[in-house]
Amino acid sequence: MITKFIKRILRRDPMVKHTQSNHSGAPKRIAKKAHRIDPHLLSKNAVKVTHTLQQAGYEAFIVGGAVRDLALGISPKDFDVATNATPDQVQRLFRKARLIGRRFQIVHVTFFGKGHPEIIEVSTFRALLDNAGDHVAESGRILRDNVWGSQGEDAARRDFTINAMYYDPSTETVLDYHGGMADMQKKTLRMIGDPAKRYREDPVRMLRAVRFAAKTGFELDGATRAPIAKLGKLLNDVPSARLFDEILKLLMSGYSWAAIQGLKDAGLHHGLLPLLDHILDTGADSKGANDFVKLALANTDDRIQSGKSVSAGFLFATLLWPDLLKNWKANSSKGMANIPALHDAMDDTIATQSSGMTIQRRFESDMREIWSMQPRFERRVGRYPYRLIESPRFRAGYDFMLLRCATGELNPAIGQWWTDFIATDSTGQDELMASIKNESSNSSNPAKRRRRRKPKAAVPPESAAS
């Protein structure tokens, strides 16, 4: 037991020293046989950028999340490059290069090839916040140059050790300032420097910790995890737009369910999305809601992991659906007509959500469209279905409706009917319409029957609404 303890201390000691070492200290150079990065996973454009910069006499490396993913054997979704060239110097070297940002300018170098254009983000090594902060506080364009620093400083101001490695494609060497590669092997997510101080500087790092842990399956190092419980409330001071971006990244990470569980374990979910508050506080009555959200998130994770796109509006529509159902149901039981009850519930749901983290307008309108389409899937009479499939957001509304069928909130036969309806030609569609008529031919007055059925059909069953 004691030997084990001593061994652990011995193993950890150099890491602690390393983490706290002077940021200008020399990095560890890691050769190919140790890091095993597969050059085939590299973006050709990112290599072009580092190569061009190096040819012009500058230092240039692939950096950050891309190196982490490469070392994990994952193909990075985007590539960042860090260099000692200033943004102006970078811009002069590339044809399609745009300066972005004001205080900390970076350069977007765009490449057009087959498919989507690829943007390589090139940033100049930055000074540590402590040093740069003095200059920034004095407001300052004139002093802007002083925010650039050495590579060592640039490494020290990054968040986690595994996000602070620099890869040079021409020598296939990794420069590792903070023991990132050792942490990769230990499957540990470790904050660089004093974690509490780093979270105070930027509380969003707490959300990033949870996101990366979910994505990599790594454990948060004890000291990295410890301050989160106390400092989580600092997220309240983060501007809503930044919070939204980070939550979106978390939900779109391909590991959203794991990440949400991670938020809960870290006690960070309160106030981010009211929905997370109430499903993750696991009230017994939230089972139906939980099922729906779980299925929606699993569906999103699957799509992202298989390289398909996911719309943020769709995702938020699913996350807030249980809340919306509850409000819709409450309105209906107050005697409101079905559709106004739904629209009123949409306003309420969005207003409650906005008291936590505001969802951007463009996504809000997608959500409203998807939601307001839902009762229309049950109106399979007259011209309604023909009109519905013409709406520009039909596909999203339809996918959403299928999720409702999958959790049993809506009769799966309705989902199947629509699946058949969109797959067939106009004769087939007419036949499907006739089949509905036949189903209900025992009712002599369809209008009357519809009126009777509507509240029941459009307002979901108890279990899903609660």
Q: Interface with ligand ATP by CB under 6 A: which residues? A: 64-65, 80, 158-159, 163-164, 202, 204-205, 249
Residue 65 vs 169, nearer CB to Mg ion: 65
CB atoms within 10 A of CB 186: 15
Residue 68 vs 393, nearer CB to ligand ATP: 68
| Residue nearest to ligand ATP according to CB distances in the complex | 65
Instruction: Give the span between the Cα atoms of 253 and 206, in whole angstroms.
Output: 16
Q: Which of 159, 291, 301, 366 is catalytic?
A: 159
Residue 240 vs 354, nearer CB to ligand ATP: 240
Instruction: Quote the least distance from Cβ 28 to ligand ATP, whole Å.
Output: 17
Nearest-5° Cα angle at 382, 381 to 383 = 115
Whole-angstrom CA distances from 288 to 77, 255, 455, 466 are 34, 21, 20, 7
Question: Given the rule CB under 5 A, which of 65-73, 111-119, 179-187, 400-408 is the region that contacts Mg ion?
Answer: 65-73
Instruction: Quote the least distance from Cβ 61 to ligand ATP, whole Å.
Output: 12
Distance of CA 127 to the CA centre of its chain: 28
The sign of the torsion formed by the CA atoms of 320, 324, 327, 329 equals: negative
80 is catalytic: yes
301 is catalytic: no
Residue 283 is which amino acid? G
Whole-angstrom CA distances from 148 to 61, 167, 399 are 16, 20, 48
Q: Count residues contacting Mg ion (CB under 5 A)?
A: 1
Interaction of residue 254 with Mg ion, rule CB under 5 A: no
Q: Which of 78, 202, 344, 399 is catalytic?
A: 78
179 binding partner (options Mg ion, ligand ATP, none; Cβ < 5 to 8 Å by kind) = none
202 is catalytic: no
Query: How is the beta sheet containing 118-124 ordered, strand by strand?
Result: 28-30, 173-176, 165-168, 60-63, 80-83, 118-124, 106-111, 97-100
Residue 204 is which amino acid? V
Q: Which of 69, 80, 154, 366 is catalytic?
A: 80
Among 65, 152, 232, 460, indicate the residue that binds Mg ion (CB under 5 A).
65
164 binding partner (options ligand ATP, Mg ion, none; Cβ < 5 to 8 Å by kind) = ligand ATP
129 has which bridge partners? none
Residue 82 tokens read as 């860090």
CB-based contacts of 220, cutoff 8 Å, min separation 6: 188, 189, 209, 213
Instruction: Quote the least distance from Cβ 117 to Mg ion, whole Å.
Output: 17
Residue 205 vs 225, nearer CB to ligand ATP: 205
249 binding partner (options Mg ion, ligand ATP, none; Cβ < 5 to 8 Å by kind) = ligand ATP
Reported as type and span, the H/E element at residue 84 is none
Residue 198 vs 269, nearer CB to ligand ATP: 198
Residue 252 vs 402, nearer CB to ligand ATP: 252
Catalog residues that contact Mg ion under the rule CB under 5 A: 65
Catalytic residue numbers, as ranges: 78, 80, 159
